[in-house]
Amino acid sequence: MKKIIYPGTFDPITNGHLDIAERASKLFDELIFVVANNPDKDQLFSVEERMEMISKSTDHLTNIKVESTKMLTVDFAKDNSALAIIRGLRHVSDFEFEFQMAMMNYHLAPKLTTIFMMPSEKYVHLNSTVIKDIAKLEGDISDYVPDYVLEQLQLKLNN
């Protein structure tokens, strides 16, 4: 059973995240989304809400699980017998941070591989922060998030 983990904040999941998950899930037996449970970071959605949005947005995929953790990513991977970490790379500006993280993870867990994948061109400029900023100003983000996420964003921002 070849498992891969996809760690991130996912506040909320976007079609860019989904693009990566769809590609990666075809290459492995199971992909586990690992939602960071980091109380120090200021998030719009709770961990439970973020997990629910991922589950609802991936119900067309059969080999996806959604978990959350407060652990180091490498420790979560070891505990779940994952072979690799998948990360998305959008711009050169992602590279420096991702490279540093991958090298540190190789130091902490030499056998765990980090795999980078690029999303379809239409999602390259997308991140969760931009989505939230546009949604707050009532801009149209329907091309960039799953329908359920769009509803949840509207509900959250109208409250």
Pairing of strands 113-117, 30-36: unpaired
User: Is 128 assigned a catalytic role?
Assistant: yes
Q: Is 17 in the site for ligand ADP (CB under 6 A)?
A: yes
Which two tokens mark 77?
């991977």
Q: Is 20 in the site for ligand ADP (CB under 6 A)?
A: yes
Residue 116 β-bridge partners:
87
User: 87, 115 in Cβ contact below 8 A?
Assistant: yes
Q: Is 45 in the site for ligand ADP (CB under 6 A)?
A: no
Residues 6+ apart with CB under 8 A from 93: none
Per-residue interface string for the shown chain with ligand ADP, residues 52-71, x marking contact by CB under 6 A: --------------------
**Looking at beta carbons only, is 17 or 57 nearer to ligand ADP?**
17
DSSP code string of 96-152? HHHHHHHHHHHHH-TTPEEEEEPPPGGGTT--HHHHHHHHHTT---TTTS-HHHHHH
Q: Is 8 in the site for ligand ADP (CB under 6 A)?
A: yes
Which entry of 3, 65, 78, 90 is annotated as an active-site residue?
Answer: 90
Which two tokens mark 94?
């992602």
User: Is 91 assigned a catalytic role?
Assistant: no
Of 45, 53, 82, 87, which one interacts with ligand ADP (CB under 6 A)?
87
User: Is 60 assigned a catalytic role?
Assistant: no
Of 28, 34, 112, 119, which one interacts with ligand ADP (CB under 6 A)?
119
Of 5, 10, 51, 54, which one interacts with ligand ADP (CB under 6 A)?
10
Catalytically active residues are: 17, 41, 90, 128
